[in-house]
Structure formats: C-alpha cells, structure tokens
Amino acid sequence: MLRISDITYAVAGRPLFEGASAVIPEGHKVGLVGRNGTGKTTLFRLIRGELALEGGDISLPSGARIGGVAQEVPASQTSLLDTVLAADTERADLLADDSQDPDRIAEIQTRLADIDAWSAEARAATILKGLGFDDDEQLKPCADFSGGWRMRVALAAVLFAQPDLLLLDEPTNYLDLEGALWLEAYLAKYPHTVVIISHDRGLLNRAVGAILHLEDRKLTFYQGPYDQFARQRAEKLAVAAAQAKKQDARRAHLQSYVDRFRYKADKARQAQSRLKALSKMQPITTPQEAGLKRIDFPTPEELSPPIVHLDGASTGYGDRAVLSKLSLRIDQDDRIALLGRNGQGKSTLSKFLSDRLPAMSGKITKSSKLRIGYFAQHQVDELFIDETPLDHLRRERPTEGPARWRARLSGFGLMADQADTVVGKLSGGQKARLSLLLATLDAPHMLILDEPTNHLDIESREALVTALTNYTGAVILVSHDMHLLELVADRLWLVSGGTVKPFEDDLEAYRKLLLSDAKPAKPQTEKPKPKRPSRDAMLALKAEARKSEARVEKLNDMRDKLATKLADPTLYEDAKIGEMEVWQKKYAEVMDALTRAETLWMQDLEKLESAERS
C-alpha cells in the first residue's frame, strides 16, 4: 500500500503540491494523469526519496522495493539477456555465492527454488521478446543498440525484477504499437502495485483499474479506467461551471446595488453590507483545464485519383532491398495505418513514399502536382534550439509578415508567449506542434506521420484526431497509440515478410493476433476443409462461451466492489488493520480467479471462432 499524506512541495517558489493526499491499495494498477507541468514526474521522485518533502509524508510497507526506468542501460559488452537477468540482484548474489558450507549451500538452493530462479532465463527472454528483441538480438551486447533500444532493455530489466511498487513514466514513448500492446497485457497481470504516467488512452483504459488525477496541487483517486474517469470529470466540470455562473450572477446583482446606492445616505448601510457580502464570497473556479488545444492542417486542392500507385516496386538501403513486390494504391481520401512488428519496414515504407528513399526496381507513379508532408519523431530533435518558432517561420516563409507567421502558429496552439520563446525552452509537446506545422506548411496532399504523439498530452492527441478527421488529404500513419489509430484509420496495411499487404481484419483482431503471438493463417487450398460442426455442437459451444462470459462479468463486479472498499482511506486506520488484510486477501483471490476465468473465456471464444470458420 502506498500512502501519500498531506504532502507539500514547491519548485523555485511555485507550489506543485499543497496538502495533497491519496491511498493506493496494494496490487492496484493506477494511471497518474494531469496537465503537463503539474508535477507528475516530481511526485515519482518524491516517492523514490530523490527529493525531500517540505511537509507531509509518503509511506510504503517496510522493505517494499520501488522500481522504475530512469535512464537507458549503458552501452556495455554485456548481452541483453544477461543485463536483464542481473536486475534480479538477489538471484545474482545467490548464484555468485561460492560458499563450501553444506548448510549454506542448502539454504541457497532452497531460496533459489523459492524465487523460481531456474526459470529466470526463460522469463527474461519472454519479456525481451515482447518488447521487440528476437532470440539472436537477446545475445548481442548492449553496445550494439541505440539509446532508444537500450531504454527498452532498461524497461525489460525492471519488469523482470518485479518490484513491489513499479513506477513507469511514459513507458510507451520508446515502444512501437506491438511493444505497447504487449506491455498493456503484461501490466494488467503484473502481481504488484503499478503507477503509470501516460498520455496513451488505450493503455489507461486496458492496463489500469484506477486513475490518480493531479490538479490544483491536489490528488484525487478515481476508481475505473480512463474513459470512466473522463466521464466523471466532465460531470464535475459541468457542476462547477454551473455554480460559478450562479455566483457570477449573484455577484453582479450585489455589485449593481452597491454602485447605485453606496453614496446615498438612506441606502449607505445596505450598500456597505452588500460590499461585505461581496468581499466574503469565495470565487468558485472550475478546475484547471487545458482547454481546446488547436491543430489546424491547411486544405490542399483536390487531385485526380490515384495520387500514388506502386507496381512491383522495391526499396531499401544501398544495395539491400528491405521491401519488394509493392503493388499498392493511395487515393487522396485514404486514411492508412501501417502495422507490423518492429524492423519489418514501416519506417522504410514511410521514407519511400515521402521520396526519402529511391525505388530500386518496379514502377512508382505519382500525381505531377503531389505535395507530401512528412513528420517523424526524430524531427523534433532537429529544430534549432536557439531560435524561436517565429524564427523558423521567417526562414521558411520570408515573404510573409509577422502577423501571418503568428496566425500560422496559433493554428497549431502556439500562442504569443510560445512564439517568442526559444525552442530549447519549449515543452516536448510544443516542439512537436512546431514540427507538425513545418511539415504541413505547403498544404500537402498526403501527410505521412511516424509516431506523431510521443510528446503530446491527451488533450493534444484529441486535437490531432480532430485535425486529421477534418484534413482533406491522404494520411499514412505509424503509431503506437491504438486510440489514435482506431479513430483515424479506415485502411490497414501489414508490413511483414519484406512486403506490404492490406490487412483485411480490424485493429482489435490485430491486437489479439499480436498477444497470441500467432501469424496470419495462409489459405491451404490443397487440403479439404474440415467438416463443419453440427448445429447442436455449435449451440453447445455458444452456451459454454456465454457461461464463461457471465463468470468473468460476475468476477469483474466482485473486483470492482472490493476495489471500492480498498480505496476507502478509513480502512487503513490502525484499528482496522486486521480488517484491511482480510479485504486485501479477498481481492487477491478474486483477481486470481478472474485471471483463470478470462483464460477459459478466451479459450471458449477461440473454439467457437474456429468452429464458425470451418
């Protein structure tokens, strides 16, 4: 259990926390959300003891281990697998103990068995594979990989170590879609407490069961995933806005009376009493809101379809073809998401379509007037850090004036203050907005976006969804943000096996495919189809699936009720410690039963789907 009690902390005189409190029960998965700059990462540092509180207290059970990813692993000659194995320091110390004492040897062997040390290598390999490292790469030294990949190794190491409290700060920022989906599934079943800072709505809906909201220097605990929190939040804002409107009307009425009668002798006393009433009225303010963060893409003229046509084309680097046999068509109204495991060629295809890589063979036909906009996450790092956004536009559009430059910037949510601030002092999200603006200055007919959301908060991601929905050009999208893909893409291309083919199913089917570690089935025309199950057999399979689903729903209800009980701060008072332990035990039992029930349900659904396909 993590208990945050009445904490106070300020940075450079600016208070981040004032009397903030929260209780996170043991085993809960919690998403920590709030506007950028409110102190989410600072809270993690306070929990880890890296910063000293000015007031209040943060407590954990005695001996509880805290883990997180602070930085990438060093570029050493140690293999990825050995680096991850070393994260379990107790196992490493036990294996390194060369004691000759029989009692000590027996003690070591018993403890190694207790911590399941002999399956450690398989567990570490499974985690690395889930994060995108194949068997051969796991045996390579860390020095062979870039910083972003070594961040994945660091994440694998902390997941393998299984700390009692796992603190993750934007873990999907250095993962692709496949790694992000694997992490969601892994965290949902993680055996201890997890707190995640994330702007990934899919992760906050599928991997956590509660939201801790940081706002107005306070912490508020909401039971349920992000979408449920968002609904409750909207209701709270509506109530606060209505109360503020009523108070404004009351204040205006009182002020009107004062203005009319404060200098009239017979009304002066009443006017003074109303002045006192005005001074005592505490303003009702709606909670801090990010507001609508605009992103407006310019509108291109319409071109005749197709705007791009590939016929047997191939591309790659130097003499090595990465993608071949590309026969694809893109029209101006297409919204295409590129799917595929890391290293299969999604970024290669993006560069090829944006003319950053040449065709090695085959034919590529493009509209003669086609303009292409290209955004990749590395471009944020290529901005001139000593120049302002206005300086960037002055260079790109020297014939335009300051008014037009500022209008362009405001169309991407960069207002007057940001326009005059050097890029080095802008937030990651503001830099991303500037890069998106620069990529779309020419009103492109086709916009290629490679991980555009890494530096954007939830409100900015929603603004991006709206902008892409209103945009009248083609969109080619690579992203680990499942929520963005679901709302924007209407076509899916699977990049796999050195080529690109349409993926005929939906994103949810692709998600299940990845989590089951299966490959798309190839049609086997040479074999006869299996005999279709009888009607009675199909009815029996459907009945079994319904029973399994009902069992899961019942256990989910039990889990939610227990979670609500465990979220009650009074349960953790000293007099109720015994009662708290009973409820925690019940919660653990229900979670174990839920895991088994979900597994059985999935097995029943797979049997049913297999029967329906036959």
Confidence band (pLDDT; 50, 70, 90) for 446?
Answer: very high
Residue-wise pLDDT tens digits, 304-330: 989 999 999 999 998 899 999 999 999
The highest-level CATH class for domain 1-65+163-224 is alpha beta
Q: Where are the domains of the chain?
A: 1-65+163-224, 68-161, 230-280, 308-515, 535-613
Quick one: how far is CA 328 from the chain centroid?
31
| DSSP SS3 for 168 | strand
pLDDT of residue 539: 63
502 or 243, greater pLDDT: 502
pTM of the model: 0.67
Do the domains at 1-65+163-224 and 308-515 have one common CATH topology?
yes
Contact 291, 324 (CB under 8 A): no
**Distance (Å, whole) CA 140 – CA 499:** 27
Res 535 pLDDT > 90: no
Q: What is the mean pLDDT of the chain?
A: 83
User: What angle (nearest 5°) sits at the alpha carbon of residue 414, between those of residues 410 and 420?
Assistant: 110
Confidence band (pLDDT; 50, 70, 90) for 338?
Answer: very high
Res 289 pLDDT > 60: no
Residue-wise pLDDT tens digits, 121-142: 888 999 999 998 988 999 999 9
Residue 525, burial from CB neighbour count under 10 angstroms (0-12, 13-18, 19+): exposed
Tokens standing for residue 268 = 């002066």
| DSSP SS3 for 228 | helix
Residue 327, burial from CB neighbour count under 10 angstroms (0-12, 13-18, 19+): middle
Backbone dihedral angles phi then psi of residue 36, each to the nearest 5 degrees: -60, 135
**Distance (Å, whole) CA 58 – CA 62:** 12
Least confident of 73-77, 164-168, 497-501: 73-77
**Torsion on CA atoms 174, 178, 182, 184, rounded to nearest 10:** 70
DSSP states along 541-597 = HHHHHHHHHHHHHHHHHHHHHHHHHHT-GGGGSGGGHHHHHHHHHHHHHHHHHHHHH
Range picked from 210-219, 226-235, 575-584, 600-609 for highest mean pLDDT: 210-219
Residue-wise pLDDT tens digits, 244-284: 676 677 667 667 766 766 666 555 655 666 566 656 655 54
DSSP states along 252-314 = HHHHHHHHHHTT-GGGHHHHHHHHHHHHH-----PPP--------PPPPPP-PSPSEEEEEEE
Confidence band (pLDDT; 50, 70, 90) for 528?
Answer: very low
Contact 374, 438 (CB under 8 A): no
**Dihedral sign, Cα of residue 200, residue 203, residue 206, residue 210:** negative
Contact 323, 498 (CB under 8 A): yes
CA terminus-to-terminus distance, the chain: 50
Mean pLDDT of 345-365: 92
**Which CATH number is associated with domain 308-515?**
3.40.50.300
Q: Give residue for tokens 């860390």.
A: 142
pLDDT of residue 282: 55
